[in-house]
Chain A
Amino acid sequence: MTNPYTPFEAEVVERIQESPTIFTLRLRFTDAEQHRSYSFQPGQFNMVYLYGVGEVAISIVSDPEDEQLYDHTIRVVGRVTRGLAQVKQGQRVGIRGPFGRGWPLDQAEGHDVLIVTGGLGCAPVVSVINYIISRRERFGRLTIMQGVKHADDLLWHERYKLWSQMPDTQVIIAADQGGQQWPWRIGPVISMFDELDLMPDRTIAMMCGPEGMMHTAIQRLQEMGMAEEMLFMSMERNMQCAVGHCGHCQYGGKFVCKDGPVFSFNEIKDIFGKAGY
Chain B
Amino acid sequence: MGKDAVAQTQFLQRKDLQTLLDTLIAAGYHCLGPQVRDGAIVYDVLADVSHLPVAVHDQQAPGKYHLHYSQGLRSFAWANGPLALKPLLFSAREVLWSAERDDEGKIQFVQVKPAVQKTAVIGVRSCDLAAMRIQDQVFLEQQYKDENYQARREALFTVAVNCSHPADTCFCASTGDGPTAKSGYDLLLTELDDGFLVAAGSEVGKQIFIQLPLEQASDQQHFIAGEQALHAEQTQTRKLPQAGLAEKLLANLDHPRWQEVAERCLSCGNCTMVCPTCFCHKETEQPQLDGRSTEHLREWDSCFTQGHSYIHGTVIRDDTEKRYRQWLSHKLATWLQQFGNSGCVGCGRCISWCPAAIDLTEEANAIAGDEGD
Contact = CB atoms under 8 A, between A and B. Distances in A.
Interface of A: 1, 3-9, 30, 51-55, 75, 77-78, 90-94, 236-238, 240-241, 243-248, 250, 252-255, 258, 270, 274-277
B109 A238 contact: no
B196 to A, nearest CB: 37
Contact of B142 (A78, A93, A244): A244
A243 to B, nearest CB: 4
A75 B313 CA distance: 12
A237 B311 contact: yes
A54 B285 contact: yes
B101 A51 contact: yes
B interface residue count range (under 10 / 10 to 19 / 20 to 34 / 35 or more): 35 or more
Contacts, number: 126
A237 B309 contact: yes
Please classify the interface of chain A as helix (H, G, I), strand (E, B), loop, or mixed, using the class held by over half of its residues: loop
A255 B338 contact: yes
A250 B330 contact: yes
Interface stretch (B28-36, B47-55, B143-151): B143-151
Nearest to A79: B285
Contact of A92 (B97, B106, B146, B250): B106
Contact of B250 (A90, A91, A270): A270
A248 B280 contact: yes
A245 B144 contact: yes
Given A51-B294, A246-B298, A248-B309, A3 B147 contact: yes
A240 B307 CA distance: 12
19 contacts: A3-B97, A6-B96, A6-B97, A6-B111, A51-B99, A52-B101, A52-B285, A52-B291, A54-B285, A77-B313, A91-B105, A92-B105, A94-B109, A236-B312, A238-B311, A243-B144, A247-B279, A275-B322, A277-B316
A276 B294 contact: no
Nearest to A241: B283
A91 B101 CA distance: 11
B163 interface: no
A239 to B, nearest CB: 9
